[in-house]
Structure 1
């Protein structure tokens, strides 16, 4: 499966676009945050070097057809966060969506709107029928995003893991009918 080139998605008052080299400083401002460090696997501190590596890896994963990571913007220019679509493998009809919104931009419904736009793209353009979110138990803000974007908690057992030396349990949320 491959993603369209020059991907730009719009809807719900947002423009989602590809990251580029001009976004490195903005990425630092968005991702070098204690909440992002705690709830995501991103490195901390997230500095310009980390941003360069992140952007390079995003390009590699996109080229492999495994993941597309888009900047969330309200104007098509200044990033306020990121939303990503991650495929488990080529030809599969299941994918996961992830998202981050910078601290200065939270509380405006940006993450839920971005997830809705990405969900529509995944279903309508990519033909993905089962969309999931994996949210760490206790992440109330992310659970609120999931609910607002039309996702519900599934009965799947929590997925155990570890991040930065601490144990975690990811709960699975699915889009659409129960």
Structure 2
């Protein structure tokens, strides 16, 4: 499945974004993004070299093949630079609920990339994934930036979840319902 999502540039001068499935050419930019200790803190799969990056990409491609995980590289359109990742995950049962996740590269944080990319992913998920009527966004309670992204994109705080491995702290559940 070849899917490419576009996010227009903003009047405030934020560049247009392209969201596309990950490809083999993303290995070096992925490794570079994972040099960031903040990114490594919030993600579960380490990427420290080519082998790790290849394994990470294979997981993303397996998700597309199985229909259980749709992960997009987020690039600035004008520079073609990798600036993030957004993903929507479904269980094997393909029920009415799916989970979204994302990260942004250190050098672009605070520039509104995560909310813009997540909004594009949300629209795509509701329009393309049969039966999905609710999306959940989960983050560890001390990840304040993710809480802000959730709020900016209309994911309402639902409840606090108890900690469970591999996450050592409680978390927030945010939810967004499909438009009626």
TM-score, normalised via structure 1 length: 0.87
Flag the structure with more relative contact order, 1 or 2, with Cα contacts below 8 A and sequence separation at least 6. Answer: 1
Query: Is residue 133–residue 177 contact of structure 2 (8 Å, CA) maintained in 1?
Result: no
Query: Is residue 28–residue 46 contact of structure 1 (8 Å, CA) maintained in 2?
Result: yes
Moved runs in structure 1, 4+ residues, more than 3 A?
none
Against the structure 1 CA distance between its residues 90 and 10, is the aligned structure 2 distance closer, same or farther, given a 3 Å change threshold? farther
CA deviation profile, 1:97-138 (whole Å, cap 9, x unmatched): 100101011110100111100000011222421001001001
Aligned residues: 169
Query: Is residue 162–residue 168 contact of structure 1 (8 Å, CA) maintained in 2?
Result: no
Q: Identify unmatched segments of 5+ residues in structure 2.
A: 9-15
Look up the match of 1:33.
Answer: 36
Structure 1 residue 135 corresponds to structure 2 residue 129: no
TM-score, normalised via structure 2 length: 0.87
Q: Identify unmatched segments of 5+ residues in structure 1.
A: none
Look up the match of 1:75.
Answer: 77
Spell out the pairing of 1:58-97 with structure 2 (5 A cutoff).
58-75=60-77, 77-97=80-100
- Distance, in Å, in 2 between the alignment partners of 1:169 and 1:41 is 16
Query: Is residue 141–residue 172 contact of structure 2 (8 Å, CA) maintained in 1?
Result: yes
Look up the match of 1:170.
Answer: 171
